[in-house]
Every structure is written in C-alpha cells, then in structure tokens.
Structure 1
Amino acid sequence: MKKYFICCLIGYLPFLAFSQDEKQTNEGVFVFPDSLKSLIPINKQSLLRDVDVIFNSRMAYNSNFLEGNHTLSAFNVNQLRFEIKGKIHDKVYFRFRNRYTREPIPGNLDNISRSVDMAFIRLDLSPTTNLSIGKVCADWGGYEFDFNPIDILTYNDVIEYADNFLVGVGISHTFADKKNSLSFQVLNSRTKTYEEQYGSSSPPSISASEYPLALVTNWRGSFFKGKLETTYSYSFFNEAKGANMNYFAIGNKFNAKNFVLYYDFQYSDEDLDRKGIVSDIINSQYQYAAQDVLYVENWVMAEYLITPKINLLMTVMNSNHSWKGNPDSNGSSKLSTSYGLISTIQYMPFKDMNIRFYLAYTARKYDYTGYAERTFGVKDYITGLFGIGFVAPLLVL
C-alpha cells in the first residue's frame, strides 16, 4: 500500500478514493481493484522502498505564566513538520521537510518559503564523501541544534534567533576510522536581502554586501568507544560590507549506561547585530541596529532512563548579551543575561513506536544589568510554561 499513499502525497491529494467494488480479505487488508491505477509507472515503484514519509509532531496543552501569574492555557500544535526523504538512486538521496507552524513567506534572497526547513539532494561521491545542494541545515556544532526540533521544548537565545536553514552547497567526508568526519558548507548568510532584514534600522555607515555568504565548517568525533562524542564548528558570515559575524559552537556528549549528558558552548561575535536581542534592548535610545555585539551561551542537558518506559530530562541554559560597541564612555557593555530551566518527564508506552507522552515545566528569567535598566528603561521579568502532551516522529510510510 505504500506506493499508493506516496502517489497521493506527491499529487497533494487529501485522501484516497476507493471504488465501490473494493473488498477486504480475511487478514484485514484491502485488495485494490484493477481499475485503480498507480500514478507512478510499475518500473519506477521499486524506488519507493527507500522512501520514508514522516510527520514530526509535538502537541500539548500549555499553560503560560508571567511573573508567577497565569496568563493563558490552551491546546497548541507546537511542532508539525512534514518530511519525505530517501534514495532515488544508489548515489542520490533527497530530503524535504516543511514546517506548518510558520508562515510560508518566501525569502527575497533565496526565493524559497521560510517554512521549508530543508529541500536538497545529496550526491554520494564515494562511500565516505558526499555533496549536498539546496536548502540545507547549517552544520553548526552543538547538540541543542542537532536534535530534531520536536525534542527541544525551548531553545536558548542564539539558536532561537538565528537563520538555521539556508540555501547553498556542502561537502562532508568521513575518515577511515569512521569515528571522525569533517564538513564544509558555503551558504547564503540570510534568507532575506539586507534591505528587507534591516530596513530603516540599518546604520548609515553600513551598506549591503554583494556577496552575502556564510562559510561553515564542522568536525564530529567519537572517543573512548563512543562514551564521548563531539561536534565542533566555526562559521564566518559576511553580513554586510565591512560587517561580519564569527560564530563558534562546541558540543560535547557523554554516554553512560542509562545516562547521557550534553554540554554546548556558543560564541557569536557580530559586527552588526544579526540576532537583534541587543538592538531590541537599546531601541528606546538608538534607532539603528547595534554594532559590535557579543552573545555567549552555555547549554546543559541531562537525560536519565529510569525504566524502559520512563525517561527524565533536565536542561539548564544561560545566554549573555553584550554591546561592545556602546558609544557611552561611562556605560557598560554587558546589558542582559537570560536563564532557562526545563524539567521533563517522558512516558514511552510502546517498544516498537517512538511516541513519548510528556509533562514539562519551562522557567525563563531575563535579567538586565543596572546600567541597561537606568539607560534604556528595561525591567527584569520571569516567564513559565507548563505543558502536557506528546512528541513523536510519526513514520507513516
């Protein structure tokens, strides 16, 4: 039946309309009448064995809090990303993933909807080397970004405010020991043009670059029989003429029998404030995007499998926001720090299906320095999010 479902998905049909003379066998399997024709020729249908269709889903009943006071409770589709991927040739692989919880607005730089996470083909140049072309996931280091988005209830600030999926090309090579790999990507630095991204907030001294490109390199390693894994990266973004971004991400994963510990360090030094966090803080006094800003983050997640069906997770994170280019000689470069704590209990009732029911609470605190409070009128605040729901990459075909 897989071939018929995929035919309909490719044709964007909402359902299969069976003819009236269809019947069901004793085993409970529908037998399709001869009058039902496949949209894909018989000689092509063997390709579908290597194609997967996935609904990456997270849905919950969420309760929101501000300064300890309840503000809203409602059912919410936090994540719904449709994915189809697989091999269409011995050396050609494709992947497409679309996010239905984001507006489908095309970027005027890359000409593809921002709701599309990935749309690329991968060519296997050799058993250890491959080339990817299209809209890809920027190969940043760190495990927070490596996770399927449905598994991260709340992102730390750098990943939350970054353009994570960009159009370009990339090459990856796995070394002979199969424990280390190296990748290199050349990508657009944004999904939008400079004018659309910054608009009237563009500083007068800065203009758009003719080559808004990003270079990303990543090294992944495995040590001590897999007990320690790493994913480290360096990225250089040409944001505008004379305005670049240097981004370092260091991810570490420690594996034990039923326990996994992750630690990420993120460092983003930006000549022009791409994340916009510092610019939002100072906009009461400065109409332009901040120049010479720095974001430094730490992210730790511990995961402990109590029983085969019960999993505990605890995430602790912080992000520091600094304005190194502050023109106030008596001012401070450090403007704010955000903190996050996420505690989660997961229940996994099925051995043969990756669906997890969860109960989680996310607490965030946004702490501004005294200088930022006095100068820009910002105030500290605390948010909370209590959720009960499920998360699953539903492999339907």
Structure 2
Amino acid sequence: MSKKTIFLILFTFFVAEYSALGREILLEPLKDTITEPSSAEKTKVEFYFRGGFISDKHTIERNSSSHFQIDNARLNVQGDYNKDLSYRVRFRLNRPFSPTSEDNASAALDYAFLTYRFGKNRQWETTIGKQLSVMGSFEKDINPLYEYIFTDYLNGVYTNVFLSGAQLAYSLSNTHKIGVQIHNTLNNSFNTHLQNNGFVAHTFAPSKLPLGAYFYWNGSFFEGKFRTKYSYNISQFADKYYTHSVSLGNKYKSGAHTVYLDLIYSLMGADFGLTSSRLLSIYDGFSQGGYTMRKNIVYKGAVSRYDYQLTDHWSVTAKIGVEQTGSQNTLNEHLRTNYIYFLAGQYAPFTTQDLRFYLAYVGNRIEYAKELQMPYEQLHRVAVGAYYTLPVLTVKTPRLK
C-alpha cells in the first residue's frame, strides 16, 4: 500500500472523528431541552372481512347469478399518541387506488385524519383529513361488516360519506356535543363527476367554491338509552346552485334490543346525485343531446334497523328503508322509489371475538312513476357467509410522567 493511500485513509478517519466530536459538542447544550418522542399510548391494527356465497334472482336476467363474493375487505389502523392527539387510517382492498380529482385521495381510502383535543377538560376537538361525514345518521355509524344492504344515500349517490375537510366540535357536557364540518362537496371535480356518469354540463358551470358545511348536534338521554344525531348541511356543486339537507338520526338501546330510525330530506339546487336527472333526460327523449343535469331535485328517505341479541351466541337483525327522488319542476317528486330490506340470523361461536356466521335474505325493489313507463326492478338475494374483525395488533404503552 503506498504512502499516499495510507495518508488519505488516515486523513478521512480523523475528519470523520472530528466531525462527530464537533456535533456532540454543539448538541450537548440541547440534550436537556430535547425529548425524543416515545411510542404512542395506544395503537390498533385490524383487518375487516366479510364474504361468502350469494344467490341473486333479478327481474333483469343478466343481473341474476349465484357465486362466491368478497363483500368487504378493509385494513384499519388507528391509535392515540396521547390524550390530546389521535389518528386513523382505513382503506379498502377491493376498491381502486387511483386518486380522485378533487381531493387527491382515492375511492379505496375511507379515512386518513388527525384529531386534536384541547381546552381545560379537552372539551374542544378538531379533526382534519379524510373523515366520516357528520350527517345525522346511525346507518353510517354501524361497522360496514354488519350491514347487508345500504340506502342509496349511504352508498354516496346523494351525498358524500367519506369526505375531505376539517371539523371543529365542542362538548357542552358528557351527553351533548355540537360542531361544524367544512368539506368538499364531492371527491371528484365538477367535470370529472359528470363525465364519469355520461352527463353534460349544459347550462351549469362549476362552482368556484365547491364546498359544503355541516352543522350538527349529538345528544344522549336516559343514561344513554336514547341517542340523537341531527344535522343541517349546505353545499355547492354548480355555481350559484345550493343543496340544503336535513338529517335526523335516532337510536334506542335497552338490554338486548337496539333500533335506529334515520330521516333525511334534501333539496338539490343542482342534481349531483344524477338519478332524477337521468330519468328526466330519458323522459324528454334526450332533447339536449344526452343526459343533462337538472335543478331543484328533491330527495327524501327513511331507514330503520332492529337488532335483537337472543343469547350470547345467537342474534337476529332486520332492516327496512324507503327512498324517493323527483323534481319540483317536472312531473313530480316521486319519479323513483327505492325499497331496501333484509332479515338475517347470526351465530357467534366466541363471545370474545367479533366472528359471526350468517344466513340472510336481502331484497331491493325499485319502482318508477307511471309517466316514465318503466317496469319495476326486483332483487331477491340469499347470502351465506361470515364476517370477522381480526385484531392484527394492539399495543398499549403507558407514558412516563
């Protein structure tokens, strides 16, 4: 080895040692003031699954089929960093991960948010990110594994359920909370939403502020047996056209019995739900050259579910809902009526695990106003399967005081 090579090696060694020593000297005064964050107080990772065999009989023959199907597959990660800060991320494994045009998230992403609590008794709470809508509904609060059919409203036809925005809430007491949630009206932009559904804008223009706001109150009465979730929402999709919605969620639980009733009414200045607009375009004979979005569309619905825990292992559940949509300007407000219903028996072999086997009948009937001259649609489904919330990881780390 040459002297030059030896010199370069020794020089490099001394420079590295001097640099490290220099960093230690510079950082020494800060050691007493910098505290490295420890692990979060609580972290939970869960895998949601529901699937099985379904047999569908439909009045439209091509929709009849018998096959195995994965209804739900989601990964949920949530936790508390401390008593003030928490987070949640949940995404679906059987949805596309391509970003949506308005919020740059994806249809696969349900949640990605942070929640910060503050105030003397942490009575204030703010949440930012992609989160669940605060609409007055208990249908949306139930774990999606437990519902065998959703209303169109909760399927995102007439509202945005998993939305990006910010929320500020205040707990008046242990039983009452009020708040406001500012959000994107839809997850896709004006043009993308219409194009994806085969519509043209016609006389409508995109809103310069395509946002909405929920104002809500959650209440609890009779030692928590009766609960309410009431909300009012105003949003804008098309310029100068506003949507107003009122949602009233009511839930009663006593012993082995649980029942909820949700009531919803919306007046859509511009019909971004597009269901009535599509029917009116067909009725008008596509006079505007295709599907065109309409104004002053009414949506109203009611849905109720009843659960009864027969024993520690056996339970039954039933649900019924009716939704109507139509126009204030053309024909009537009842262009389309959607009925959903199911009856299911469930068996849980372990009382300490959220594993259940089920046998369910699911029905869906759609009727149209006689002026449209369209036949009704009827689905009869028999489903046999299982759902399971698998606790992949749960970690609790008490913080040192």
- Given the two structures, how large is their TM-score scaled by the length of structure 1? 0.83
State the match for 1:9 in structure 2: none
Q: Which of the two has higher C-alpha Rg?
A: 2
Instruction: State the 1:325 CA deviation.
Output: 2.5
Q: Which amino acid in 2 is paired with 1:267?
A: Y
Instruction: State the 1:90 CA deviation.
Output: 3.8
> Which of the numbers 153, 171, 180 marks the counterpart of 1:184?
180
Distance (whole Å) between structure 1 residues aligned to residue 83 and residue 322 of structure 2: 44
State the match for 2:169 in structure 1: 172
State the match for 1:335 in structure 2: 335
Distance (whole Å) between structure 2 residues aligned to residue 390 and residue 130 of structure 1: 36
CA contact (8 A) 1:141 1:250 kept: yes
Q: 1:97-119, CA deviations, whole angstroms, 9 ceiling, x for partnerless residues?
A: 01112111211111111210110
* Aligned structure 1 segments of 4 or more residues deviating by more than 6 angstroms: none
SS of 1:280's equivalent? helix
Distance (whole Å) between structure 2 residues aligned to residue 150 and residue 77 of structure 1: 11
State the match for 2:303 in structure 1: 299
> Which of the numbers 204, 207, 225 marks the counterpart of 1:206?
204
Q: Which amino acid in 1 is paired with 2:46?
A: I
Instruction: State the 1:45 CA deviation.
Output: 6.2
State the match for 2:319 in structure 1: 315
Name structure 1 gaps, 5 residues minimum. Answer: 1-42
State the match for 1:54 in structure 2: 46
State the match for 2:399 in structure 1: none
User: Alpha carbons of 1:68 and 1:194: their partners in 2 closer, same or farther (altered >3 Å)?
Assistant: closer
Q: Which amino acid in 1 is paired with 2:68?
A: F
CA contact (8 A) 2:298 2:333 kept: no
State the match for 1:78 in structure 2: 71
SS of 2:310's equivalent? strand
State the match for 1:135 in structure 2: 130
State the match for 1:346 in structure 2: 346
SS of 1:371's equivalent? helix
Q: 1:134-188, CA deviations, whole angstroms, 9 ceiling, x for partnerless residues?
A: 1111111111111122221111121112321111110122222x01111211111
SS of 2:153's equivalent? helix
CA contact (8 A) 1:299 1:318 kept: yes
Distance (whole Å) between structure 1 residues aligned to residue 92 and residue 346 of structure 2: 24
- Given the two structures, how large is their TM-score scaled by the length of structure 2? 0.82
User: Alpha carbons of 1:371 and 1:128: their partners in 2 closer, same or farther (altered >3 Å)?
Assistant: same
Q: Which amino acid in 1 is paired with 2:161?
A: N
Instruction: State the 1:239 CA deviation.
Output: 1.0
Instruction: State the 1:388 CA deviation.
Output: 1.0
SS of 1:396's equivalent? strand
CA contact (8 A) 1:158 1:275 kept: no
Q: Which amino acid in 1 is paired with 2:370?
A: G
Instruction: State the 1:204 CA deviation.
Output: 2.6
State the match for 2:109 in structure 1: 116
Please tell me whether residue 94 in structure 1 is matched to residue 87 in structure 2.
yes
Please tell me whether residue 260 in structure 1 is matched to residue 258 in structure 2.
yes
CA contact (8 A) 2:229 2:250 kept: yes
Q: 1:220-245, CA deviations, whole angstroms, 9 ceiling, x for partnerless residues?
A: 11112222111111111111111111
Q: Which amino acid in 2 is paired with 1:347?
A: Y
State the match for 2:376 in structure 1: 380
Instruction: State the 1:343 CA deviation.
Output: 0.3
Q: Which amino acid in 1 is paired with 2:54?
A: N
CA contact (8 A) 1:332 1:371 kept: no
SS of 1:81's equivalent? strand
Please tell me whether residue 242 in structure 1 is matched to residue 234 in structure 2.
no
CA contact (8 A) 2:216 2:229 kept: yes
Please tell me whether residue 274 in structure 1 is matched to residue 269 in structure 2.
no
Paired residues, what number? 345
Q: Which amino acid in 2 is paired with 1:273?
A: D
Q: CA RMSD in A?
A: 1.8
Q: Which amino acid in 2 is paired with 1:396?
A: V
State the match for 1:227 in structure 2: 225
Please tell me whether residue 364 in structure 1 is matched to residue 360 in structure 2.
no
CA contact (8 A) 2:39 2:81 kept: no
Q: 1:334-387, CA deviations, whole angstroms, 9 ceiling, x for partnerless residues?
A: 2121112100111111111111111111111111121121xxxx2211012211
Q: Which amino acid in 1 is paired with 2:384?
A: I
Q: Which amino acid in 1 is paired with 2:386?
A: F
Distance (whole Å) between structure 1 residues aligned to residue 325 and residue 354 of structure 2: 37
> Which of the numbers 150, 156, 177 marks the counterpart of 2:151?
156
Distance (whole Å) between structure 1 residues aligned to residue 302 and residue 83 of structure 2: 41
Please tell me whether residue 288 in structure 1 is matched to residue 292 in structure 2.
yes
CA contact (8 A) 1:316 1:342 kept: yes
Distance (whole Å) between structure 1 residues aligned to residue 181 and residue 60 of structure 2: 44
Distance (whole Å) between structure 1 residues aligned to residue 162 and residue 45 of structure 2: 20
Instruction: State the 1:68 CA deviation.
Output: 9.6
State the match for 1:16 in structure 2: none
User: Alpha carbons of 1:45 and 1:355: their partners in 2 closer, same or farther (altered >3 Å)?
Assistant: farther
